C-alpha cells in the first residue's frame, strides 16, 4: 500500500523545516481558524483543541490525506507568554524570563481524513533561562529580531544562548512540532517512513 498524502496544516517555516527532517514528501496548507481561547479553557486544553481544529479544517479540502495540526503556548508561571510583536515588549518578556523557567505546551494532532482516525497529544517542554543582562537582551534582540516568536525566543537560532538548560523528552517540541511523538502517530496509521 502506498503512503497517503501527508499535509502539514501550518504556515510556520519552522514547523516545515522540522517536518522536512523526516525526509518524507509532504505539502503544506495553512488552516484559517479562530484561535481565541474559550471561556474557562486551560492553556493545555487550548493547544489540544487548536491542533485538532487545524487538522480537521485542512481535511475539508484534502479528504484522503493524513493531516498534521500543531499549536503551541508558552507559560511563565500561569500566565500565557505571547509573541511580542515589537522591541519594547520583547525586552519586557526577556527581563521577566531572566533566571526563570518557561513551560511550553505543544498540541499535536494527526488526522486521517480518509478513515476519521484522530491521534492527539499535548507535549510539555521547559526552558530554564540564564540570568540575562540588559546588554545581552539588547544585543540578542538587535541580531535576531524574534518579534514573531512566543516569549521573544528564536530557539533554533541565537536564542539558544539565553538558556541554561532544557527539560523534556522531545527537543523538537521546543520549536513547535514534536517529531518523536509525530513519528509514533504516523506509525500507528501504518505510514511507512522508509518507503518513498
DSSP 153: -
Catalytic residue among 71, 78, 192, 195: 71
CB 8, CB 68: distance < 8 Å: yes
DSSP state string for 24-83: ---EE-------PPPTT--HHHHHHHHHHHHHHHHHTT-TTSEEEEEEEEEEETTEEE--
Q: Is 32 a known active-site residue?
A: no
CB 106, CB 173: distance < 8 Å: yes
> Could you tell me the end-to-end alpha-carbon distance of the chain, in angstroms, rounded to an integer?
11
Q: What are phi and psi of 111, to 5 degrees?
A: -115, 125
Q: What is the distance between the alpha carbons of residues 104 and 90, in angstroms, rounded to a whole number?
A: 17
Positions marked active-site: 71
Amino acid at each position: 500500500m502506498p503512503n497517503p498524502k501527508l499535509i502539514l496544516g501550518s504556515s510556520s517555516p519552522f514547523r516545515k523545516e522540522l517536518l522536512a527532517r523526516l525526509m518524507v514528501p509532504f505539502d503544506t496548507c495553512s488552516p484559517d481558524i479562530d484561535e481565541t481561547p474559550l471561556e474557562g479553557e486551560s492553556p493545555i486544553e487550548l493547544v489540544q483543541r487548536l491542533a485538532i481544529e487545524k487538522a480537521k479544517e485542512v481535511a475539508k479540502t484534502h479528504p484522503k490525506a493524513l493531516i498534521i495540526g500543531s499549536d503551541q503556548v508558552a507559560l511563565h508561571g500561569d500566565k500565557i507568554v505571547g509573541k511580542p510583536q515589537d522591541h519594547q515588549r520583547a525586552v519586557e518578556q526577556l527581563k521577566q524570563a531572566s533566571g526563570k523557567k518557561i513551560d511550553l505546551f505543544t498540541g499535536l494532532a494527526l488526522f486521517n481524513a480518509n478513515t476519521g482516525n484522530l491521534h492527539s497529544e499535548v507535549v510539555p517542554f521547559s526552558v530554564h533561562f540564564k540570568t540575562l543582562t540588559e546588554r545581552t537582551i539588547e544585543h540578542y534582540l538587535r541580531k535576531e529580531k524574534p518579534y514573531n516568536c512566543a516569549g521573544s525566543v528564536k530557539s533554533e537560532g541565537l536564542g539558544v544562548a539565553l538558556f541554561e538548560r532544557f527539560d523534556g523528552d522531545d527537543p523538537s517540541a521546543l520549536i513547535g512540532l514534536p517529531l518523536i511523538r509525530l513519528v509514533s502517530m504516523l506509525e500507528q496509521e501504518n505510514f511507512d517512513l522508509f518507503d518513498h
